[in-house]
């Protein structure tokens, strides 16, 4: 049996699920794209090849193993996109929560059954059908759980609205001893620069009390201000709208001091080094063309207590 432990985004990583780009399938039709970033690259003829994405993901897998991190991969489904393992499940404390995701993606859950079936049944949680949630919107942070959501009455009109308030309330019920803080995020089905697909596409806490944030992705300014005050303005690295669309906030912490980041994120990586972080740079720009990056494709199972 696997004993899970995730209480924050930065404690030393011991075990993780990393998605796979193997047998990723043909380029989708533009009407079948799940997000505006993918649609943009389908339209431009720059949608990533399977070969390029496999290469990028294997580099990350090798990096994790070099830090003695146990890496699990999904079983490969034929002609199926299984890159973003964070979408389909997430861990808080010692519980794994199976997300209610887009119906077209339900087979992805079956492909990681070999992992979560080794968790005691009492620690496996499947939320009620009316709860929509994806792991990119869920961030455990010590006594808090930060959650991205969309509260508009037109929620059903946005394929990019992935986490609803029913899910926020369900997570609060599951973890009554924690403060669940939700953030109303800007959504667009057609413009990647106006769309925060998940909370980790516009915000992420990292080690040393720092955070990365994009102001304009928050529909309620007071919620953005709350986060800035929580971390301290001097500790927040503000990214531009162009940087948000490139996934600058979607990096990944191996430990409080070690961050994995896209090699092209020069401004961010220089700032991280100036703040004393070790920055492990990898090429992940082909993966980014599908609207996610390092945090989206990883699902931590165990971090050191």
The answer to whether 82 and 19 are in contact (CB under 8 A) is yes
pLDDT in tens, 165-211: 999 999 999 999 999 999 999 999 999 999 999 999 999 999 999 99
Decide which of 59 and 81 is more confident. 59
| CATH class of the domain at 13-303 | alpha beta
pLDDT of the residue at 37: 86
Weakest mean pLDDT among 19-28, 96-105, 227-236:
96-105
Q: What are the structure tokens assigned to 3, written together?
A: 């004993």
Q: What is the pTM of this model?
A: 0.94
**Is the pLDDT higher at 117 or at 68?**
68
Q: State pLDDT tens for residues 120-171.
A: 999 999 899 899 999 999 999 999 999 999 999 999 999 999 999 999 999 9
Residues facing residue 258 across a β-bridge? 278
Q: For residues 2 and 301, is the Cβ–Cβ distance under 8 A? A: yes
**The predicted structure's pLDDT at residue 63:** 98
Compute the C-alpha angle 80/84/90, nearest 5°.
Answer: 125
Q: Is 65 exposed, middle or buried (0-12, 13-18, 19+ CB in 10 A)?
A: exposed
Say what the pLDDT of residue 148 is.
98
| Rounded average pLDDT over 74-92 | 92
On the 0-12 / 13-18 / 19+ scale of CB atoms within 10 A, 135 is: buried
Between 291 and 183, the more confident residue is 183
Which of 60, 97, 245, 114 has the alpha carbon at shortest distance from 171? 97
User: Given this model, what pLDDT does residue 202 score?
Assistant: 98
| pLDDT for res 94 | 97
Provide the residue count of the chain: 305
């Amino acid at each position: 049996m696997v004993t899970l432990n995730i209480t924050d985004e930065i404690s030393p990583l011991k075990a993780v699920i990393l998605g796979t780009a193997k047998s990723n399938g043909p380029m989708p039709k533009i009407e079948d794209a799940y997000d505006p970033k993918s649609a943009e690259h389908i339209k431009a003829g720059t949608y990533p090849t399977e070969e390029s994405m496999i290469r990028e993901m294997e580099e990350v897998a090798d990096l994790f193993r070099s830090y003695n991190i146990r890496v699990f991969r999904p079983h490969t489904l034929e002609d199926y996109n299984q890159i973003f393992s964070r979408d389909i499940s997430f861990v808080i404390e010692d519980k794994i929560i199976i997300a209610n995701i887009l119906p077209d993606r339900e087979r992805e859950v079956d492909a990681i059954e070999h992992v979560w079936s080794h968790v005691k049944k009492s620690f496996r949680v499947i939320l009620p059908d009316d709860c929509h949630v994806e792991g990119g919107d869920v961030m455990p942070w010590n006594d808090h759980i930060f959650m991205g959501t969309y509260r508009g009455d037109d929620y059903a009109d946005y394929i990019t609205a992935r986490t609803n308030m029913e899910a926020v309330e369900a997570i609060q019920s599951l973890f009554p001893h924690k403060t669940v803080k939700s953030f109303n995020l800007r959504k667009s089905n057609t413009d990647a620069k106006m769309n925060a697909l998940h909370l980790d596409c516009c915000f992420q806490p990292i080690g040393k009390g720092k955070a990365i944030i994009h102001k304009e992705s928050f529909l309620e300014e007071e919620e953005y201000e709350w986060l800035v005050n929580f971390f301290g303005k001097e500790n927040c690295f503000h990214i531009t709208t162009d940087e948000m669309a490139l996934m600058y906030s979607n990096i990944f912490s191996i430990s409080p001091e070690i961050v994995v980041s896209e090699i092209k994120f020069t401004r961010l990586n220089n700032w991280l080094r100036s703040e004393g972080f070790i920055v492990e740079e990898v090429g992940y720009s082909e993966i980014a063309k599908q609207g996610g990056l390092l945090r989206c494709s990883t699902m931590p199972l165990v971090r050191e207590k």
